[in-house]
Each structure stands twice: as C-alpha cells, then as structure tokens.
Amino acid sequence: MAMTKAEAAKLTQDLMLRGVIETIVKESPLLGLLPFMEVTGTAVTYNREATMPAASFYDVGDVWTEATPSFTPITAALKILGGDADVDNFLQATYADPNDIEAEVIASRAKATAHLFSDAFFNGDATANPKAFDGITKAIPAGQTIAAGASGGPLTLDLMDQLIDLVKPGRPDALCLSKRTRRKLSSLRRASGNLLETDVDQFGRRALFYDGILLVVDDFVSDTQSKGTSGKTSWSTP
C-alpha cells in the first residue's frame, strides 16, 4: 500500500517565507517626515517669535522710529529612546532556519521604538514621565488651536480650512489625524461631491492628501481628548 497523504504530511514542512507578516503599523510615519540633526550637549534651545517690530508709513524728512522684535526662548532637553534586544548565540546558530531569529527580534524592537516615539510625539508629558519629552499636545502655544465648540462638535470642512489657515507663513507640510477623523473627513468630502486626493509621497508610497496637503494617519493621535463635558473628542494638528 502506498504512503497516504496524511502520513506524508508529517514528513513535510510547510513553506515559510523569511520574515513575519506585519499586522500593525511597521514604523511611525512621522519618522520619515521629520528632519534630524546631531546635537552636542544636553539640550536644544530655540527662539519662538513673540511679537514683530511695528512698521509705519513715513513722509520725506520724517524721523524713523526704531522697533525690535521679541522672542520667547524654548529649551528642549535631549532624551534617550531605545531598547535592548538580546538573542542567545546558540538559538541564533541552531534555530535560525527558515527565519533569522536575530533579525526578527531586532525588527520587532525597532517597531516598538517607533511606536513609542509616535505616542510621545503626540501625547508625551515630561511632568508625568521625566525621562520622556513633551508632545505637541503640550507644546502647541495658545492661539494656534481651534475648537468645534465648548464641548467639542462635529468636524466640518470649514474647520479644516481654519486649521490650515492657522499655519503662517505658507501652508503646513502635513496634517496629522486619527483614523476616525480620516473616516469623517472622507465622508465630508464625498458628501460635497469630491474625494480626498490620492498621490504618492516622497518615498513612492500611495498617500491621501487634503487640498494638496499630505494626511498622516497615526494610531497614536488621540480620540479621547477632553473638551468641556466631552471626553471623546479628537484633534488634528498641522
């Protein structure tokens, strides 16, 4: 009697592709957009414009009035972000087929680091965790935010345009938003008879755009912000 299929299957290993199928965001989309620089020291200090020098019209022979701008110095302390990824040499030498265990562990650690960076970028609070940095929720100054209502409210295309207009000079490079906000924005555009534009970003990947501005959808943009009596509001940032 010939060997059965069930018995033959016991002696055969299913084909396994090298690598692990990713089911969550592989890396922070922000890391590909933000500029990075080397810093010598323990902090970076930059100046935020507070007031502009006043300008005036003059007639011939008038005495020109001196005016100077004012700035607010902002200091951002350097923080360390990373993780330790260890793989026993024995396991790497004997269990690395068909998957490279060391490569998979390092890739997983890198993904976790990217996720933590995204979380801190939006929601970081150096007061609650002195080892972390403040996210843009705390860093955005007064006058650069708008609210849909005393306790929040529905997103509208007019609010999106107001948010974009808060960026001066020029237009924002990107708009960061949650998946829930992206769905609502898509619904609004469809209702208006238009769709969100699709194109490729600087890395050749397909991306969504609103009025020519890149939409960065991130899982760590909060949908549980508190505003008035509501604790389920979202926010978007340019």
Beta bridge partners of 233: 225
Per-residue pLDDT reduced to its tens digit, 154-210: 889 999 998 898 888 788 888 999 899 999 999 998 998 888 888 877 667 788 888
Residue 17: what pLDDT? Answer: 38
Band of the pLDDT at 92, cuts 50, 70, 90?
low
| Residue 129: pLDDT band with limits 50, 70, 90 | very high
The residue ranges of every structural domain in the chain are 18-48+67-139, 145-233
More confident position, 148 or 237: 148
Q: How far is CA 184 from CA 157, 188, 212, 213, in A?
A: 10, 6, 18, 17
pLDDT tens digit string along 33-60? 878 788 888 888 888 888 889 999 999 9
**Cα distances (angstroms) measured from residue 238 to each of 36, 40, 217:** 19, 29, 12
Left if phi > 0, otherwise alpha if psi is -120 to 50, otherwise beta: which for 181? alpha
Pick the more confident residue, 128 or 107.
Answer: 128
Between CA 221 and CA 141 the distance in angstroms is 18
Q: What is the pLDDT of residue 59?
A: 94
Q: How far is CA 128 from CA 94, 124, 156, in A?
A: 44, 9, 34
For residue 2, which amino acid is it?
A: A
Kindly report the length of the chain. 238
pLDDT of residue 106 exceeding 70, the answer is yes
Q: Which of 186, 169, 160, 180 is nearest to 223 (CA)?
A: 180
Tokens standing for residue 14: 């299913």
3-state secondary structure of 90: helix
Distance CA 105, CA 92 (A): 11
Q: Nearest-CA neighbor of 123 among 113, 114, 136, 112?
A: 136
Backbone angles phi and psi of 123, in degrees to 5: -120, 5
The residue to which tokens 């970076």 are assigned? 44
Dihedral of CA atoms 73, 131, 143, 219 in degrees, nearest 10, equals: 140
What are the C-alpha distances in Å from 44 to residues 73, 80, 81, 129, 177? Answer: 10, 14, 16, 19, 27
- Please give the model's pTM, rounded to 2 decimal places: 0.72
